[in-house]
Structure 1
Amino acid sequence: MSTGDGRGLTLTAPARHGQSGADVSGRGAVQTSAVRKVLDRDRVARLTAALGTRSIVLVGIMGCGKSSVGRRLAQAIDLPFVDADTEIEAAANQTISEIFAQHGEAYFRAGEQRVIARLLKSGPQVLATGGGAFMNAETREEVRKAGISVWLRAELQVVMQRVRRRGTRPLLQDPDPEGVLRRLLEEREPVYALADLAVWSRDVPHETVMNDIVAALEGHLGLPPAQD
């Protein structure tokens, strides 16, 4: 359920925590055996102990793989996976496209900020945020206090190819979606660069990018590198 206060969404539905890293959306289950080959139990234990109560917060432009890679990462390190956009839709009982169409982007961003602040109180978890969420200074501060932010970097043509497959991104409902995406990258990349870590998302198996994130986290947390 949602109510409007004139400043943005008041999202009151409870967060659906306890989700595993498995793909609960029905768009293709994570291959657990393949993921498990990447990380052994001791490595997972060291990483999660070093994280403590902090969340791993994935940021970056739409189509960079925050949800698909995030699910696999959560599965591999035995943490819940939470998609902020999914939580917003569940709380508002509307799709993000409907929220944009009926209330506008500013209204959506206000609700997004509130939802992410709420979710960060429930760590540790792997939290995938929307493409514009990290642009909010208050959200960045909440993430800094409660998590480790990871920017999934991606080239324009890579993300454009990915978002074309879905065609449901509200900000790309424009005669020149590639031009819009290019502008968004130019505006947002300097802010994404404020994240604690940056990992390239590219056209390789999701597990490869996931393993890159784990290695970056281990370095950030001062853990020994994995042995080949």
Structure 2
Amino acid sequence: MITYSSNQPNLYLVGFMGTGKSVVGRRVAEALGMVFLDSDRVIEEKEGRAIRDIFAQDGEAYFRDLECKFAQMGHPKRGCVVSCGGGMVVPDYVRDLLKERGVVVVLHASVDVILERVSEEGHRPLLEGEDRRERIEALLQSRQGAYADAGEVVRTDGLTVNEVVRRVIGIYRLNEPNFPL
């Protein structure tokens, strides 16, 4: 295993819910000897409540503001692999900030794969009350430009977690020299 010091640039994993950001992020962090952070978990810890409760009590706009604050000052500037919430990179300034601080990799999965994965998981506030497939398609369409602009894309359909991890590490190693101390 190659060990990276805390001086290494951050690696940000972005993409839609259910694309594997947290699972892949943990494994990449372990392989690179970096700290793993999940922006949603950090926000939950700081707020003292679950994401679903934040949405229910304060709404999506409040949650998006918390995501922006996390991107600006809620995590170390180096030495981390960060799994970002699915909508975090929608605002241009957040996307730009992450790209300035580290390597951004977008994980992509098909609607069918996302639907299968989120059906196995718990509560997803943005998918409530409507046909999940239609909602996923609409959200993906609305975020397509942000994801395309965020970073290099890894298509995860048909790949094992280890294959995705290897691809993400490869992209990181290629781009890491662009972030000198």
Give the number of equivalent residue pairs. Answer: 178
**Number of the residue aligned with 2:168:** 213
1 or 2, which has the higher helix percentage?
A: 2
Q: Percent identity?
A: 32
Aligned with 2:74 (options 119, 129, 136): 119
Following the alignment from structure 2 to structure 1, what is the Cα–Cα distance between the partners of residues 49 and 31? 31
The alignment's TM-score, normalised by the length of structure 2, stands at 0.90
Cα drift, residue 124 of structure 1: 1.5
1:161 aligned onto 2:161: no
Answer yes or no: is the 8 Å Cα contact 1:79–1:126 preserved in 2. yes
> Residue in 2 aligned with 1:134?
89
What does residue 86 of structure 1 align with?
Answer: 41
Deviation at 1:214, TM superposition (A): 1.3
Distance between the aligned counterparts of 1:169 and 1:136, measured in 2?
A: 21
Residues of 2 paired with 1:79 and 1:54: CA distance? 10
Partner of 2:142: 187
- Greater C-alpha Rg: 1
The correspondence for 1:70, drawn from 17, 25, 28, is: 25
TM-score normalised per structure 1 = 0.73
Match of 1:196 in 2: 151
The range that moved more, 137-146 or 80-89, is 137-146
Unaligned runs of 5+ in 2: none
Instruction: Kindly state the Cα deviation for residue 175 of structure 1 after the two structures are TM-superposed.
Output: 2.8
Q: Which has the higher contact order (CA 8 A, sep 6+)?
A: 2
Q: Is the 8 A contact 2:103 2:176 kept in 1?
A: no
2:13 pairs with 1:58: yes
2:9–2:77 CA contact under 8 A, matched in 1:
no
